[in-house]
Chains A and B, each alone.
Chain A
């Protein structure tokens, strides 16, 4: 009896959690006006792709989609490379100033990124990089959280493996590339998902650093569109679907790694 009650409760709350997405998808296939009725309907009648046509043909959302995809993938790869090297150095090397550097990085994780945004904007502006892809890539080159996540994982790789490779004459970079990277793949995948989703979902910095519709990422383009289309839920829902679906797919495919990453502790979005 208790069990049945528990199942019903879980099922009902799960549905309540998902209803916003169900309605979003349903409304995105409705013709103008059909999402503004009382009581709300969940089955598009007639079923139409017209909102998506408007998005891609008239509003050129494909360009924003490309911007988001390109930037998320680029930032993910570069930061993975930089963070993994630094994480490896912290995990397996002794060097002068290690402890101090480590502590400085660790304690600065509490500084909210908003503090850096004004000077960063001025800096990039003086380099002529505002409203370019570089404006998004540069602040994402490396991040402290990523370095620590990788360090944590690489510390568990046995020193003997690295020693053996060194005796075989492998250079430091070869050891990094041929031993550390393959063994650290699970944590690299975890960090890749976090970085990809973080870049894709980011809003405030792209809103500041990108000033032209053709450069906007999807969230900025969507926010901009919202200003002109407050009375067009069907169109805005189609835009939301285009923004959210890739994220959900990435998550569903790699959720094991994502959840493990959270459990490893200390993840900032």
Chain B
């Protein structure tokens, strides 16, 4: 059986290349070449003049990266993005896990309806919901301050106060994204063998103890996966501040991607912008490696 398969498929490798050609060509030309080109552009002074006349383009070595290192606005964008990722990612993962555990409870019927309502924000258009939330955060007429006023909390200038603008974006991002990871956690929870819990019950373990010594360790691979995709996604923060705050007030919500966009496509400092894109890539790469390492050490 195995031998037969080998012979037949080997003769058909021409067909394999035929099937691969369209997709691989497209990915090569419109993904790999741009990645390599971006790398080279990040070592040039590609700007609006080079856009008109390529002969003005010069290689400037690491100058863009050095300039970046000394650019307070870049550090601000970096700081804001880290603030966002390190607050929103754990928060949204915790909410996802909580929702998944509740919806996995055997006491509950109509799970489909609850799951659906938690999930709806995930599929909706980010730009449109960012616009909705911009009005929700309106200081005088917004739903958020109205809701808080029911508990006697004074109005907050969510998007106008540099201390509140990022928390506002974090709350919105958690709301928008937790449903996605919730689904993955539900799948993970369903893979935990029931008899583990039964055995623990017999030995007299309480609910929290079971959560700590069965649920969490058994979910560790799921959690790693969820943390990595959430982190990668959140580092690319762009539309929320673009729509809700334009990066303000006082650059308190300016993100790395937004800074890259502004430098590259508003001021046409494309060399500089490419170096920002590469720093983003390095950060995401390092973040992924670190999470793998942490996971391995914990196991």
Contact = CB atoms under 8 A, between A and B. Distances in A.
A174 B243 CA distance: 49
B15 A112 contact: no
**Which DSSP category, helix, strand, loop or mixed, fits chain A's interface?**
helix
Interface stretch (B61-69, B83-91, B120-128, B198-206): B120-128
Contact of B229 (A20, A244, A266): A266
B131 A236 contact: yes
A70 to B, nearest CB: 17
B19 A88 contact: yes
Contacts of B33: 119, 123
**Which DSSP category, helix, strand, loop or mixed, fits chain B's interface?**
helix
A203 B4 CA distance: 50
B184 to A, nearest CB: 6
Nearest to A268: B229
Given A240-B131, A244-B129, A112 B284 contact: yes
B12 A172 contact: yes
Interface residues of B, number: 92
A114 B116 contact: no
Contacts of A255: 116, 119
Interface in B129-170: 129, 131-136, 138, 140-143, 146
A90 B24 CA distance: 12
Contact of A19 (B5, B26, B51, B143): B143
B235 interface: yes
A239 B141 CA distance: 19
Contacts of B260: 114
B243 A262 contact: no
A118 B274 contact: yes
Contacts of B274: 115, 118-119
B126 to A, nearest CB: 6
Select the residue from A86, A112, A233 with max chain B CB neighbours within 10 A. Answer: A112
A6 B101 CA distance: 12
Nearest to A226: B131
B107 to A, nearest CB: 5
A96 to B, nearest CB: 7
B131 A111 contact: no
Given A20-B132, A105-B27, A96 B13 contact: yes
Contact of A93 (B13, B143, B175, B229): B13
Given A244-B129, A251-B123, A262-B180, A118 B284 contact: no
B49 interface: no
Given A18-B120, A144-B27, A243-B128, A268 B232 contact: yes
A15 B20 CA distance: 47
B125 A218 contact: yes
Interface stretch (A33-41, A46-54, A55-63, A181-189): A33-41
9 contacts: A37-B141, A95-B17, A112-B281, A122-B270, A166-B8, A200-B125, A240-B129, A255-B119, A262-B183
Interface of A: 2-3, 6-7, 9-11, 13-15, 17-21, 23-24, 27, 35-40, 81-83, 85-86, 88-90, 92-96, 98, 101, 105, 108, 110-112, 114-123, 138-139, 141-144, 147, 159, 163, 166, 172-173, 176, 197, 200-201, 203-204, 207-208, 218-220, 222-223, 226, 233, 236-237, 239-240, 243-244, 247-248, 251, 255, 258-259, 262-263, 265-269
